[in-house]
Structure 1
Amino acid sequence: MKFDQSGVDALMEITSRPELVFVRGQGSWLEDHNGKRYLDFVQGWAVNSLGHCPPEVVRALGMQAEQLINPSPAFYNQPAMDLAKRLTGASCFDRVFFTNSGAEANEGAIKLARKWGQLKRNGAYKIITFDHSFHGRTLATMSASGKPGWDKMFAPQVDGFPKADLNDLDSVRALIDDQTVAIMLEPVQGEGGVIPATVEYMQGLRKLADEHGLLLIVDEVQTGMGRTGTLFAYERSGITPDIMTLAKGIGAGVPLGALCAREEVCVFVHGDQGGTYNGNPLMAAAGIAVFDAITAPGFLDSVNARAQQLSEGLLALSAKWGMKGERGVGLLRALMLDRDDGVAIVNMARDWAPEGMLLNAPRPSLLRFMPALNVTAQEIDLMLGRLDEIVAKVRA
């Protein structure tokens, strides 16, 4: 099949893309317009929690599409209520507001915290976030993010997001003043290089927030819904956050996010928050299918087994090639390279014949792995074997 340049010219240019068009996918595999297959260890940046076109999600979407797609968020719909009950029943949160993306969920968390600050902390509005964090691409979430260069991209930034250093409690403590309302972090910084917050640090942040009467917000857009081997990453620290955001894996490929909060933090009044598509039954039906799959008996045990296999395999590769080890939690992992050839490895993996492989290098000296949560042991072994061959070729 010929590559359609006219179609490319009709799209707004926002990133560099290779000249291939994906036309179908199943599980851990994608197929392009020429029939070439690719083993996918990116999965839409941890979006496809159950792989490509998971049967349970396809069924849920088809059945719901025949019944009701969007009655408007001015009315209740059963799938949204059912998914909300599942999320609150499985977490420390009492209320859920559904969104269409992680950025929108984080924007909602920022608004909720600021509203709470108006009512409970004399108008306090500052939210302490972290260097190298990533919270989305709206103006407010870009301002909250600690991604280098983003402070100038669409200046001026939204005010009120002082930056601390991850796993440094004193750096947070030094930023707290009478205008501080919350602390917001990713339990694992994904875009920042797969850097986990330690259990002790998460517990320290909870204690610090309690001492100063602040909210603790966990951005679990990438870590939530089983990615770290527990349903939510905050569970690993044994803490109770005040607000949590979800997206990516909760929809397994469809646009769905969630803003979850404890009852005492839910201070929105009518008109404060909304959205035309928010909580529509079609996306909520997909979310129910995903939730039920991830919480099925044995599923998270399998995630943890595959995580151990991936970790050990990456450590073996690191030792063989003199790299700098691996890190991560669950099936969100990184291989730390000893040189800046990450992009070359990603490109060669994609172009590998007869089958390609999709990897991610968020920085030149690091590869990030975000496979489907139901990836098989054989697929992990296949990826590790091919990666070894590709490194050999790149470094020949």
Structure 2
Amino acid sequence: MSDNQLSQNNKLKAVFEVLRVSTKLGLTSFGGPVAHLGYFHNEYIRRRKWMDERSYADLVALCQFLPGPASSQVGIGIGVMRAGLMGGVAAWIGFTLPSVIALVLFAYLLQGFDIGNAGWIHGLKLVAVAIVAHAVLGMGQKLTPDRNRATIAIIAATVTLLWQTAISQALIIVLAGIIGLFLYKNTKIPELPDIRVPIKRSLAVICLVLFFGLLIILPFLRGITSLQWLPMFDSFYRSGSLVFGGGHVVLPLLEREVVPMGWLSKEDFLAGYGATQAVPGPLFTFAAYLGAIMNGWTGAIIATLGIFLPAFLLVIGALPFWDSLRRKPIIQGALVGVNAAVVGILLAALYDPIWTSSILAPADFALASILFIMLVFWKTPPWVVVITGALGGVIINYI
């Protein structure tokens, strides 16, 4: 076998490895985007060491700047760095497809059922408490080791909790970067490991041009053509392109796109949102439910591709430039502050909405503590923690 064949086999093997691991995460990652970052940290960084802690934090910081679903973008970025462009596609498919299938089935079979108050769903919320607490603990120890960075983190958490708007998170990160630039501009930062991004810059530029081009041209094409799928694709693409601040922010955007158009009723919209809380994976897969209600499996595919395409184009467009940028002294100092702010944002999310919507009674706190101990000290596989949490939620529901 030639060296080229061996190289191709190794690349293919890496792609299937990414697909396998991301699919496991897609089946077990409950709790929303912040919890997903905790799951990623545990699986990709702690267990498999596909990336060092600092590079992971830098990738998270980058994806917080970009519009779209941050957790999905982080997963795509890790897949790209592990196995190239196809690795990014595999990471997205693995993490997204399980919840897409589940939500389409909800659209067909479970509409009208009240699943929002099920005990096992409450148990999964408690799993999210343990997962995010684990992430905050691990990232906090490494990214906020001194007084200044710990202070930045606490201020970021405070502002995040007291000023909850779509732009607050982006502004917090920008301000933290400016503060870090001044505080750490003369601090010697340890040598950074290389981030291997097997994407050509020419392809990155094409992706960025395509992102902005589609945002401009799709509404125009929508008005001059009679293609039935184009208005749907345009609505979901625009929603995915303009979301800052997390997956929940996309809900009002989607509601304004689909309900006034008469594509589905407000009651169906809210029923689907309840179903979305019951499945793992990114909240953006809510689009699959909406698409399925509107036009079956075809609609689900169009809506899913439309809402996730902007995230994919932005990640591919930004990554090839990110490693060189983060090595510049001015960027390094800013990233020290940004990474501390990310810890604060995670801490704020641990309290609200995760803690406030999950820890409602002493029994909830007890189960969350057990799950945390299992994850942190017993090193229990996340899927076991998820099952334990679901069963525990059912038991609590009957106490």
TM range (shorter): under 0.3
**Higher relative contact order (CA closer than 8 Å, sequence separation 6+):** 2
Q: TM-score, normalised by structure 2?
A: 0.27
Say which structure is richer in helix: 2
Say which structure is richer in strand: 1
Q: TM-score, normalised by structure 1?
A: 0.27
